[in-house]
Structure 1
């Protein structure tokens, strides 16, 4: 393909069933690719790059413009036709081959293939810089995806060494980064930092993006802990500690999940919600539903003859269901559908709070109790953890990384609490944090968009609708729009960017929050629907 020169007139067109969009520009004043939908409405996205004459950037005499669009949309091909009715430079046609159009048949013998045979990855970083200057987010993402696929070819090039901290960190956070091992990511990180000694202050930010737990232990000790520029920076201590914990089976579960996922693989997205359901005739069951349709199906009978579900905690992990409390643990494998008795917890409590991870259950407090114990699913044993300060029952619990969060409940005098305490499981230390503005029992808590949310709950007279998010930087709770219905003993789940309130005492409804307002989704038809949670 002949290089496109500054000042040349270029015409792009995209053909598909019932659609054709055209973007014309002169190189130097602007070049664009417009994508329209089939109904002829306004373009759903515009990717454009502007290059001023003589500027070092995207379109230069030796930089192939066809490469950029081929890079963005590999399903498109460029073709060059001789002759241009407007008398300008050559005319370029961009054909979408997905729809089965053959450009050679459309244009006849005058068509000459202009698709590039080689993709110069060095130019991708030039394209990226221009897209960043223009604030073109969609274009940036397309180019970053290409850079991630060609990562090993780009590392060490002058363009790579000149990337900004924000860009390099964003690359290291990507799941689709194509590498042989995580050691290669660490070495590229070190290469970027050593290019300029002033960059050493960025070690904590970049190390947090590298998946250090995946490094072999000897490599971690020799190249990370053994590097004084890292080990002497106290800000790196927590990050290194997480990596070391991953090599200790008892502590592995406390490492943030995103740092333990191999590149090229994706974490399993939870797709089923399980909950405790009581029918109008008094039958107590465990049911499940899919968030896409919210259709429900029966799973099994509830394993205890309790009058109230909230006497015990319920959770679902790895195709197993767990009900714990009152000094007992019942577990059921979904493939054999039979309840078994597991190891009894070390404390006999009712009204406890529960938080779960992929291989642990944390049982917190209960009636006039301030104990915490962790059930190790792999070792099938209970481990007692440090007690929290204020005994409480009916609280909400949530786990993120190696921190256990406990909010609300009622104390030994039956006073509703807003107290918020959290435990650093690695250090065994509890700390008090800003309390909720209002005390409540049986609220629900969840991490959504990297923030702790708490909603609903009750007091002696009503079920609450208020929802709060915790702002860690200012140690303060911020009130959000309230749910449409009061809920207690319900579930809060985060799914595809939205927050869902599910069920509650005598409340079988679902509503969703989209950062602006709560909207009613569905009535599930049960008498009550409690402790809804994702299968982890």
Structure 2
């Protein structure tokens, strides 16, 4: 039968008909016109058998001799070519024929789990933008969706709808019902949600109900469509160590959803003022002060959060305490500190896979009791102490192994905390020669500029903070045991509870699941 176009896929030619491709997806309708006779498609990692099966489906509406091991790759092709019916066919085939086969179920589950576990990274990816409406509903309804706020989920939905607004706006109401709109702030609802979702009475009603949820909590039982369950309920915060007679080695677990505490474990170590990072199921602890031996420590420990086993790793090149650490992929950087003789400007890089250390470029200025964070693959170091209290800021690029001096903070400070929130870094609390610092400063790495925001209600130092559900949570400090929460959207603070064991110079780390 005469064909009027050739598809070139991975250097192989397939004779097909424009009319078939036009009916198959909006992608082909955009790409094809009367003058095109050859169309080369970007199909990286797509197997030849997947292309053949896809073309067979386009002509027959079914696939003969489909094998379960072919499904994942065909689904990937269907996402690239926007073949929603083909993708649905593959899922139904697997579920119908192999429902009781656990191995097959796992393969099908892996396809869905990729999107659930990487939601923030894939919302601008063509594979996400080409998902069918049913797949998007399944994704947005998932309790396990890996996000830190419901506002991120709405932004992902917005990306998907706008990708083909004409054809997708009719599905907006049904997709909005999959969201947990009460978890969005009122300002976000009025600005972002309202801008996208007020073309129908039903959409407006959902938006209004979400606002009423905030304004009239006593009437929430009547708002039946409002799902307020927080996703990722297993997210926890680990509080590790600290300088206190009651807390050496003690790990406490905080549930930010319920605002409750439990004792997790007590590690058999006698060190304090160390730094630590979490990698997979392991807590890795660096340096610090050995309270039993009364000396500096260069040891490195790995504590398995599942087995509760403590293992020695390769020691650092230099003994240090009051340092900071950050993690970038499979590398951990231990930064600055004090070696009892001088303030340290050296940086050590730990390769987790190789269990090895190397010295990288030193900071411009030596410091300890400072704060460090990672933003877009670069390390930012703030304040601390050298010969004097510091307000200076430095940026380290691991790719070039170079440090750059940036605009300083307004306030000199040490023993404070720094937290990344979207495209800003907040520096909170601390201490200097004038006393305790209650001021909070927000740094924009893109413009290298600072802005002051609302002061802490209870100013302190020696504490740590984490970012969860669009809010910064600060735990205790040298002189108080309050849990203080800052809302960047509203620029307001709130005290929500007490730190059960007051401690300072501890480490706070977020777990993606509980153990």
TM value normalised by structure 1: 0.49
2:240 alignment partner in structure 1:
276
**Matched ranges for 1:480-519 at <5 A:** 480-515=453-488, 516-519=491-494
1:381 alignment partner in structure 2:
356
Alpha-carbon distance in structure 2 between the residues aligned to 1:343 and 1:518: 42
Alpha-carbon distance in structure 2 between the residues aligned to 1:377 and 1:391: 25
**Matched ranges for 1:309-348 at <5 A:** 309-310=272-273, 312-325=274-287, 326-348=297-319
Per-residue deviation, 1:179: 7.3
Per-residue deviation, 1:119: 11
Give yes or no for the alignment of 1:172 onto 2:124.
yes
Contact 2:247 / 2:503 at 8 angstroms: preserved in 1?
no
Give yes or no for the alignment of 1:349 onto 2:349.
no
Cα 1:525–1:175, aligned 2, differ >3 Å: closer, same or farther?
A: farther
Per-residue deviation, 1:433: 0.0
Alpha-carbon distance in structure 1 between the residues aligned to 2:242 and 2:374: 28
2:376 alignment partner in structure 1:
401
2:65 alignment partner in structure 1:
none
Alpha-carbon distance in structure 2 between the residues aligned to 1:290 and 1:442: 25
Contact 1:489 / 1:531 at 8 angstroms: preserved in 2?
no
Cα 1:475–1:376, aligned 2, differ >3 Å: closer, same or farther?
A: same
Contact 1:456 / 1:465 at 8 angstroms: preserved in 2?
yes
Cα 1:269–1:316, aligned 2, differ >3 Å: closer, same or farther?
A: farther
**3-state SS in 2 of match to 1:176:** helix
**3-state SS in 2 of match to 1:369:** coil
Contact 1:279 / 1:526 at 8 angstroms: preserved in 2?
no
Cα 1:438–1:341, aligned 2, differ >3 Å: closer, same or farther?
A: same
Task: Give 4+ residue runs of structure 1 displaced > 4 Å after superposition.
Answer: 118-122, 267-270, 277-281
1:526 alignment partner in structure 2:
501
Q: Deviations over 1:399-439 (max 9, x none)?
A: 1233111111100x2x1101100111101111000011111
Alpha-carbon distance in structure 2 between the residues aligned to 1:358 and 1:524: 31
Alpha-carbon distance in structure 2 between the residues aligned to 1:480 and 1:322: 34
Per-residue deviation, 1:335: 1.8
Per-residue deviation, 1:449: 1.5
Contact 2:361 / 2:402 at 8 angstroms: preserved in 1?
yes
Alpha-carbon distance in structure 2 between the residues aligned to 1:532 and 1:360: 19
Cα 1:175–1:364, aligned 2, differ >3 Å: closer, same or farther?
A: farther
Per-residue deviation, 1:328: 1.3
Q: Deviations over 1:496-526 (max 9, x none)?
A: 2122222323433222122220111111221
Q: Which has the larger displacement, 457-466 or 439-448?
A: 457-466
Match of 2:418 among 445, 453, 456: 445
Per-residue deviation, 1:297: 1.7
Cα 1:471–1:449, aligned 2, differ >3 Å: closer, same or farther?
A: same
1:291 alignment partner in structure 2:
256
Cα 1:173–1:305, aligned 2, differ >3 Å: closer, same or farther?
A: same
1:226 alignment partner in structure 2:
none
Match of 1:416 among 363, 372, 389: 389
2:332 alignment partner in structure 1:
361
**Matched ranges for 1:93-108 at <5 A:** none
Alpha-carbon distance in structure 1 between the residues aligned to 2:439 and 2:127: 36
Gaps of 5+ in 1: 1-117, 126-148, 156-168, 181-266
Alpha-carbon distance in structure 1 between the residues aligned to 2:245 and 2:462: 20
Alpha-carbon distance in structure 1 between the residues aligned to 2:260 and 2:306: 21
1:138 alignment partner in structure 2:
none
Q: Deviations over 1:300-340 (max 9, x none)?
A: 2244324xx32x11332322122211311122101221222
Cα 1:504–1:317, aligned 2, differ >3 Å: closer, same or farther?
A: farther
Contact 1:402 / 1:426 at 8 angstroms: preserved in 2?
no
Alpha-carbon distance in structure 2 between the residues aligned to 1:509 and 1:405: 27
Measured on the aligned residues, the alpha-carbon RMSD in Å equals: 3.4
Alpha-carbon distance in structure 2 between the residues aligned to 1:410 and 1:381: 29
- Aligned residue pair count: 292
Gaps of 5+ in 2: 1-22, 31-77, 85-120, 133-230, 288-296
Alpha-carbon distance in structure 1 between the residues aligned to 2:360 and 2:333: 9
Per-residue deviation, 1:279: 10
**3-state SS in 2 of match to 1:391:** coil
Per-residue deviation, 1:358: 4.5
Alpha-carbon distance in structure 2 between the residues aligned to 1:320 and 1:440: 31
Per-residue deviation, 1:277: 5.5
Alpha-carbon distance in structure 1 between the residues aligned to 2:477 and 2:322: 15
Cα 1:460–1:526, aligned 2, differ >3 Å: closer, same or farther?
A: farther
Contact 1:492 / 1:500 at 8 angstroms: preserved in 2?
yes
